[in-house]
Chains A and B, each alone.
Chain A
């Protein structure tokens, strides 16, 4: 009887484990089965490097969106990483216990805010602010980068803080004993030792930024043209999909799924990079 239960429960656990794998595989099959024929029909180079996205005229070039996604993500990293890293250092090393009790839940709350709320905040607060600073409509690459930079903060802070805390205290103490100041010890002894963990946090942040949809779509302007500068509007891969999916038909719809394939490949690359770095930190 006891053994019977054991076998059943074994099966239950195995099934649970399988379901997530099956989900990933099903998504892969769906994406590639619908996307690859569309890419083939449009032509790989016309699709990936074409600069014109005019679905009604059968022009499906997503190069401006690829560039847009990369620019916005890079902008978000430039804004989010320094702030996030310094915040993590402060929280792990310098923060008084009382303040920490407020800071930590606040950052966790920040991670839980739905992205559409960030989007509304961006549209109502950051966009008008940008209109005054940079002129134009205020919906631009810079606005989207700012908003995304804010949104990836909790991810970066969370991972970086635990990476810093994981560094043995003797690094810090050893540095102090050699005569370095507390700040110098943190930045030149503890931080380099937590390098791989921090990198992992940054890469998770990149993953979040490139996949973010609802917030970006409201503040980036969504023009499907090559970006001309920080103050010009852009369209990201995710925005392209969500903007047009509701109304798309025929090849247009398949081209959007193909856009998702490209996005999926990006995410795959980022995740691979993440696991490589994570493995290296174990060695």
Chain B
């Protein structure tokens, strides 16, 4: 009898402690498992003298019941506690309103690049790309701008090494070189991208965007250049007529070279493109210099053609009435929201470029 009492006292006090479910289970096994202390005592019932047997079994059953109910109670207690904890932790307020769904906007520069690409692909140009980090050869030398040439003064270049061999491209023209070295003529490509010059004020940013155009074939002349640019400008500004002029200029990589101005006027404080007696410079162009063709192993006696470079930021400003170039790169959310475009409205020629 004292044995049973000992076991009972021992386990009742054990079960009073703070226990985990695992610990309780192991206690359960210790008592009622196949070789558990209580189970073992039951096995001894037959060996007990008849006189004591009845009392012994009754006591044993009583303690068994007591311990079992104690264990069950403990398990229930733990489970309730765990559930309460879980409920506390994972409480959801189903009365809260749903999260708002915000759709981002397309930056005006990206939109303009898409518009430009769309217009030129319509007339047979494919889009090429080149890296922002260029070598000196592709950016200057191959484009007929030798060392010490004053034309290099026009570019305030960001050099990336002391030998001035690696730089941030100052224009998208090196893409011409890469494209022509890679393939065989004819070429008809545009190359939009970022360009860099160390210049910074209201109308110049150290990083800006250009699109390069190149068309080389057997009989491409300045007339084709003029037609192409005239078409582009009309499409881009979505106007029927455009006043434009070619003004002689100089670039080392083209001969003859021209800058293109378009007419504009200010009406009611707003700029109107395509008419008026003011001129606005928007791009540089010309017939690709024979030396450039020689540098890329194209025979200038057989092939000729034109190239142009357009400042994308300037075009975007004009088309969308943006006054300060710096706003493009300020990342002001309100500005982006106002001037940005719906990402689902991809510009196409037949659907209209901009909405």
A and B together in one complex = no
